[in-house]
Chain A
Amino acid sequence: MKFAIIVFPGSNCDHDCYYIVKHVLGRPAGFVWHKEKDLSDFDIVILPGGFSYGDYLRTGAMARISPIMKAVEEFAKRGGLVLGICNGFQILLEAGLLPGAMLRNKSLKFICKDVYLRVDNINTPFTVNYIENQIIKMPIAHAEGNYYIDGETLNRLKKNNQIVFRYSNCSGDISEEVNPNGSLGNIAGICNDRGNVLGMMPHPERCGEGILGGDDGYTLFESVVYYMQFRQ
């Protein structure tokens, strides 16, 4: 079971993702340069956070046309697990692997802090080890995490149970007050209808060890391993 960590020019959470998979989770991991075209050696693909291409045109807009993205698309189509974190989520949106778009944060500022999330869907490969409606603490660090989608698609997301994480308070209440970036319906992470592609703004790789102030993120990686073993 090998994790691919895609490196776009400007990715900056690539090393963090590698570290948690390789050294905390203890699973094989490899970097894949964005100009490569082949993912056949890998079982799970992570699109890490950062500022691919400096986020100069629009977050994720340039990275989506990198050569590797064709392979990511095919990998997802075959049912492979794809996890997009932060900038990785933004790239998945631009690539059309997940629906919706990102706007600037409501405050128009970059925000770095711990937030509480409620796990709304534990029936995905990424969340099987969480408890239904579990409240978890995870850091966010972004300037464009204000998720937006049209009403019709939002209803479809809800109906298909594609909303995986929502910003909440520490008791699990969802309100505008605890919405850090203005995101529609407090959405922090969504999956595709098959559940094998997850995009999320919070950084699970930043909270996988107690020394970092929390290990709620570890459960996500653990879920993936559990799911893969179970499936095989």
Chain B
Amino acid sequence: MTAFWDFCKSLKGDTLLSKDVIDAHGLTEEEFQQIIKVLGREPNIVELGIFSVMWSEHCSYKSSRVHLGKFPTSGEKVLQGPGENAGIIDIGDGLAAVFKMESHNHPSFIEPYQGAATGVGGILRDIFTMGARPVAILDSLRFGDINIPRNRYLFSGVVNGISGYGNCVGIPTVGGEVYFDEIYNNNILVNVFALGIVKKDKIFRGVAKGVGNPVIYVGAKTGRDGIHGATMASDVFDETSEAKRPTVQVGDPFTEKLLIEACLEAMDKGLIVGIQDMGAAGLTSSSCEMAGRAGTGIDIHVDRVPAREAGMTPYEIMLSESQERMLIVTQLGREQEVIDIVGKWDLDAVLIGEVTDSAKMRIFNAEDIVSDIPVKALTDEAPKYERNISPPPYLDILHDLDIDNIPVPDDLNKVLMVLLSSPTISSKEWIYRQYDHMVRTDTVILPGSDAAVIRVKGTNKAVAMTTDCNSRYVFSDPFTGAAIAVAEAARNIVCGGGEPVALTDCLNFGNPERHEIMWQFQQAIEGIASVCRRFNIPVVSGNVSFYNETNDISIYPTPVIGMVGIIHDVSKRVTQYFKDEGDVILLIGNNSEDIGLSEYLKEIHYKIRGFPPCLDIELEKKVQDLCLQGIKEGWIKSAHDTSEGGLAVAISECCMPPEGTDNIGASIELSDDIRADALLFGETQSRIIITAASDRVAELERMGETTDTPIKVIGRVGGERLVIRRKSDVLIDLPVRDIAEAWQKAIPRYLGEAN
């Protein structure tokens, strides 16, 4: 190695970039050598910075690309698969849904409000850059133990950031999920999903087409914030991570709102050839990726870029991750029209370059060329690693669970109350109260039910959306755990009355340089792909977040699934809540003895052990098909899938409709001859609790028979208590009022806000 550096010095003398500088850019020695090979010379500092961000894990997907190819990505409804700013599916009526999910984990841990806020801002730009007006946001969040004050600070800070940004831009935050687990104490996850609607013939892409076309910078001025954000997100955390705060960007939702309107107006006027937001790696990634997709070159004049402060160097301007900025390629001669529209919205629009046929990204500062790099070297030809893979040593210990050594508690009422007030299971109302979830007047299923549903104005349709992942399952068995995440997401869509169509994912993992992490990753990808293929649900966009590790401890592998479904007739949508006294409660699916890795095992027996529930993919398909068909026929009045906390928790949740409607009780009779705790709290997959008017029960049962799908009557809606019996034993008997009190007040109590 010393010899290598000596050699370099002999070539370049004093101008050589020191090893410290190269290290600080997160590049390995081999990568640095490759840069020299590509350029035929040593890079200067601007070029080093550009390579550093474009070859970072965050931008290049260098550890994941070889695996991501296993996803099914096409289908008759797919208009745009992975590789663009977001995926697009055809929803009929000449319309398309544009959606994607992205992580903002690292910045949110360092600065929760701004980290989460800019997470929202970034994903919204990915949506409207495709020509779509964003219409819904969902958030998938993971925090550490809520009893630790710092975790409560991170939790409220993140919720505040999402609320502050989303509310101001006027896009409803309609759903999501939150889990609390010690494993996230030092690495929280903030994954934001956004969806937009666009006319099928008005889709825009991030391409720098047409040699000679002008390149226009639009939006907020460039400052010194977020420099090397992408590099920061491509490294593990330790005690010094706090010092990385300056790499976190600061969001301005008001500017974002203006930017959305300005860009959509310019698109509407037919002025846009290609457009992309300046997200991670800012002006650098947007310009070279647009040129990369079009197979062109691009010239950028940094001295023309609107700067927030004087004296910014080309290095800083190219690497800044200042928010609320877009790069637009327009037709030659129409630049003034773009500038006029953007100016109407009081934003900067400046001509900063042009599309060339050089196949290079050239950066000019006044007359000087400060960077000259082949575009392909930064995009398609960025490093790609087939990292080593081996199963982790922890599996044997983790899987070792002798269920006979777990005593069945005497007081099952108490167990239910504890589970309902646990932070992961309890009501998330404290969160969604702070989000404007009604703006745009499309939200036809409010937060709290299985899937969020928004109508599509001008049609009879609605779009259902959900995010899901039980990472404990993935930790124990990445293939099955990830497969369950997809199956559960589809089940949630079905419970709302939607037909699952496509998904986006946000794959949060530890350090990919560790063999066992790459094993988790590879297994999880296979698991997702297997369910996608069977259910014919393609993956149309996604994001990978590695290096969620602090002081050598990695998070549970958390491949969050964001799924989208279509409800063809908006009047045929259902919520999870029981509707009327006397309705019959049915269970689609089977109960079995699964308590491994359950919330019950963790909260009551303080054990994280065992295998995830098994997933019988054929049974899952039948269960979902029956439920969806029953909803389409209009026979099903409510549908709720059982997940964390099992049957007892799921039924409790059905008893508690949103505020403004009275709670309603239920009386359940079960007959399964399995452990009582497993029956009530086990997390067996492929189960949906539905209700129907009594005169529809025979039809549903007949449908079960003809499709060979297990379905049975388990009880009736009514009264003010939840009573669950097995044969003559009363397992649960509680007033719904008490259940609701425990479930609804839990989070405010943890935060010291309950009255």
Which residues of A are in contact with B by a Cβ distance under 8 Å? 9-10, 12-13, 15-16, 19-20, 23, 33, 49-51, 53-56, 109-114, 137, 139, 141, 143, 170, 203, 205-206, 208-209, 211-213
B254 and A51 contact, CB distance less than 8 A: yes
Interchain nearest-CB distance for A216 vs B (Å) = 12
Residues 426-443 of B at the A interface (beta carbon under 8 Å)? 432-441, 443
24 contacts between A and B (CB under 8 A): A9-B254, A9-B346, A10-B168, A13-B439, A15-B440, A19-B441, A19-B457, A20-B441, A51-B168, A51-B253, A54-B257, A55-B168, A110-B167, A110-B433, A111-B434, A112-B433, A112-B437, A113-B433, A113-B659, A114-B659, A137-B660, A141-B436, A141-B439, A206-B439
Encoded as 1 (CB less than 8 Å from any A CB) or 0, chain B from 337 to 379 comes to 0000000111000000000000000000000000000000000
Cα–Cα, bound, A55→B169 (Å): 12
CA distance A33 to B345 in the complex (A): 10
> Bound complex: CA of A33 vs CA of B262, how far in Å?
13
Contacts of A143 in B (CB 8 A): 167
B444 at the interface (CB under 8 A from A): yes
Main SS of chain B's interface residues? loop
A230 and B396 CA atoms in complex are apart in Å by: 81
A13, B168: Cα distance in complex, Å: 11
B269 to chain A, nearest CB (A): 16
Q: Which of A49, A170, A211 has the most CB of B within 10 A?
A: A211
Partner of B167, one of A15, A141, A213: A141
* Inter-chain contact A110/B436, CB cutoff 8 Å: yes
Chain B 464-475 per-residue mask, 1 if CB under 8 angstroms from chain A, else 0: 000000000000
Report Cα–Cα, A9/B347, bound state, in Å: 11
- Are A141 and B438 neighbours in the complex by a CB distance under 8 Å? yes
How many angstroms between the C-alpha atoms of A102 and B308 in the bound complex?
33
How far is B441's CA from A49's CA once the two chains are assembled, in angstroms? Answer: 13
Is B163 located at the chain interface by the 8 A CB criterion? yes
Interface size on B, residues (CB 8 A): 33
Contact B434 A211 (CB under 8 A): no
B299 close to chain A: CB less than 8 A: no
State whether A12 touches B170 (Cβ < 8 A): yes
Which residues of chain B come closer than 8 Å to A16, judged between CB atoms?
A: 439-441
In the complex, whether B194 has a CB less than 8 A from a CB of chain A is no
The answer on a CB contact under 8 Å between A110 and B163 is yes
Q: Are A110 and B434 in contact (CB under 8 A)?
A: yes
Q: Could you tell me which residues of chain B, from 557 to 596, have a CB within 8 Å of some CB in chain A?
A: 570
Chain A residue nearest to B445 in the complex (CB): A213
Residues 445 to 490 of chain B near chain A (Cβ within 8 Å):
446, 455, 457
- Complex-state Cα separation, A225 to B253, whole angstroms: 36
Q: Which residue of chain A lies nearest to B444 when distances are taken between CB atoms in the complex?
A: A211
Taking CB atoms, residues of chain A closer than 8 Å to B253 are 51, 54
Q: Is the CB of B258 within 8 A of A9?
A: yes
Cα-based distance from A211 to B434 in the complex (angstroms): 23
Set of chain B residues within 8 Å of A112, measured between Cβ atoms:
167, 432-438
Tell whether B111 is near chain A: CB-to-CB under 8 Å. no
B170 touches A13 (CB 8 A): yes
Kindly name the residue among B257, B344, B455, B570 whose own CB sees the greatest number of chain A CB atoms within 10 A.
Answer: B257
Complex Cα gap A49–B439 (Å): 9
B57 within 8 A of A: no
Q: How far is the CB of A200 from chain B (nearest CB, A)?
A: 16
Query: Which residues of B sit under 8 angstroms from A20, Cβ to Cβ?
Result: 441
A12 near B257 with CB under 8 A, answer yes
B residues near A111, Cβ cutoff 8 Å: 433-434
Task: Give the 5 A-B residue pairs with the shortest CB-CB distance, closest first.
Answer: A12-B170, A54-B254, A51-B168, A141-B436, A16-B441
With A20-B441, A110-B163, A211-B570 already in contact, the answer to whether A51 and B436 are too (CB < 8 A) is: no
Question: Is A212 touching B258 in the complex (CB atoms < 8 A)?
Answer: no
| Given A13-B439, A206-B441: A109 in contact with B168 (beta carbons within 8 A) | no
Residues of chain A contacted by B455 (CB below 8 angstroms): 211
- Report yes or no: B441 in contact with A12, Cβ–Cβ below 8 A: no
B252 contacts the other chain (CB 8 A): yes
Q: Which residues of chain A are within 8 angstroms of B441 by Cβ–Cβ distance?
A: 16, 19-20, 205-206, 208-209, 212
CB of A213 within 8 A of CB of B446, answer yes
**What distance in Å separates the Cβ of B392 from its nearest Cβ neighbour in chain A?**
42
For B457, what are the chain A residues with a Cβ–Cβ distance below 8 Å?
19, 23
Q: Would you give the shortest CB distance from B572 to chain A, in whole angstroms?
A: 12
Bound-state Cα–Cα, A206 to B434, Å = 17
- Using Cβ atoms and an 8 Å threshold, which residues of chain B touch A15? 440
Q: Are A9 and B436 in touch, CB under 8 angstroms?
A: no
Give CA–CA (A20, B457) in the complex, Å. 12
Q: Give the CA-CA distance A23 to B455 in the complex, in Å.
A: 15
User: Residue-by-residue, is B93-119 near A (CB-CB < 8 Å gives 1, otherwise 0)?
Assistant: 000000000000000000000000000
Q: How far is the CA of A208 from the CA of B441 in the complex (A)?
A: 9
A86 to chain B, nearest CB (A): 10
| Nearest B-chain residue to A16, judged by Cβ | B441
- Supposing A51-B254, A54-B254, A114-B659 touch, asked if A12 and B438 sit within 8 A by C-beta, the answer is no
Residues on A with beta carbons closer than 8 Å to the beta carbon of B167: 51, 110, 112, 141, 143
Instruction: Indicate if the CB atoms of B257 and A51 lie closer than 8 Å.
Output: yes
Is B168's CB under 8 angstroms from A9's CB?
no
With contacts A15-B440, A112-B438 taken as known, whether A9 is within 8 angstroms of B257 at the C-beta atoms is: yes
Which B148-174 residues have C-beta < 8 A from chain A?
A: 163-164, 167-170
Pairwise interchain contact B257-A10, C-beta atoms closer than 8 A = yes
Residues of A close to B446: CB separation below 8 A: 213
What is the CB-to-nearest-CB distance from A132 to chain B, in angstroms, rounded to a whole number? 23
> What's the minimum C-beta distance from A108 to chain B, rounded to whole angstroms?
10
* Cα of A49 to Cα of B659 in the assembled complex, Å: 24
Chain A nearest CB: distance from B199 CB in Å? 16
Interface residues of B in 579-633 (CB under 8 A from A): none
B444 / chain A contacts, CB cutoff of 8 Å: 211-212
Give every chain A residue within 8 A of B433 (Cβ-Cβ).
Answer: 109-113
- Which residues of chain A come closer than 8 Å to B435, judged between CB atoms? 110, 112
* Docked pose: A54 CA to B259 CA in angstroms: 13
Residues of B within 8 A of A33 (CB): 344
The distance from the CB of A40 to the nearest CB of chain B, in whole angstroms, is 22
Which chain A residues border B437 with CB–CB below 8 Å? 112
Q: Which residues of B contact A19 (CB under 8 A)?
A: 441, 457
A109 touches B434 (CB 8 A): yes
Which residues of chain A are within 8 angstroms of B436 by Cβ–Cβ distance? 110, 112, 141
Residues from chain B with a CB closer than 8 A to the CB of A139 are 438
Q: How far is the CA of A189 from the CA of B169 in the complex (A)?
A: 24
Q: Which residue of B lies closest to A49 (CB)?
A: B439
Q: Of all chain A residues, which has the CB nearest B442?
A: A212
Chain A: minimal CB distance from B219 (Å): 14
Closest residue on chain A to residue B171 by CB atoms: A12
**Is A206 within 8 A of B170, CB to CB?**
no
- Rounded to whole angstroms, the CA-CA distance of A139 and B170 in the bound complex is 15
Closest to B261 in A: A9
**Residues of B contacting A56 with CB < 8 Å?**
254
Which residues of the partner chain B approach A211 to less than 8 Å between Cβ atoms? 444, 455, 570
14 additional contacts (CB under 8 A) given A12-B169, A203-B438, A211-B455: A10-B257, A12-B439, A16-B439, A16-B440, A51-B170, A51-B257, A54-B253, A54-B257, A109-B433, A110-B164, A112-B434, A137-B660, A211-B444, A211-B570
Please, how many angstroms separate the alpha-carbon atoms of A12 and B133 in the complex? 13
Residues 166-194 of B, flagged 1 when their CB comes within 8 A of A and 0 if not, give 01111000000000000000000000000
Distance from B255 Cβ to chain A, minimum over Cβ atoms (Å): 8
Q: Which residues of A sit under 8 angstroms from B438, Cβ to Cβ?
A: 112, 139, 141, 203, 206, 212
Q: Nearest chain A CB to B72's CB is how many angstroms away?
A: 35
B239 to chain A, nearest CB (A): 33
Q: With A110-B163, A110-B434 as given contacts, are A50 and B170 in contact (CB-CB < 8 Å)?
A: yes
Closest residue of chain A to B164 (Cβ to Cβ) is A110
CB neighbours (8 Å) of A49 from chain B are: 439
| Bound CA span A174–B455, Å | 35
Residues of B within 8 A of A208 (CB): 441
Q: How far is the CA of A148 from the CA of B433 in the complex (A)?
A: 23
Closest Cβ neighbor of B447 among chain A residues: A112
Complex CA distance for A137 and B661, rounded to whole angstroms: 12
List chain B residues, Cβ under 8 A from A209: 441
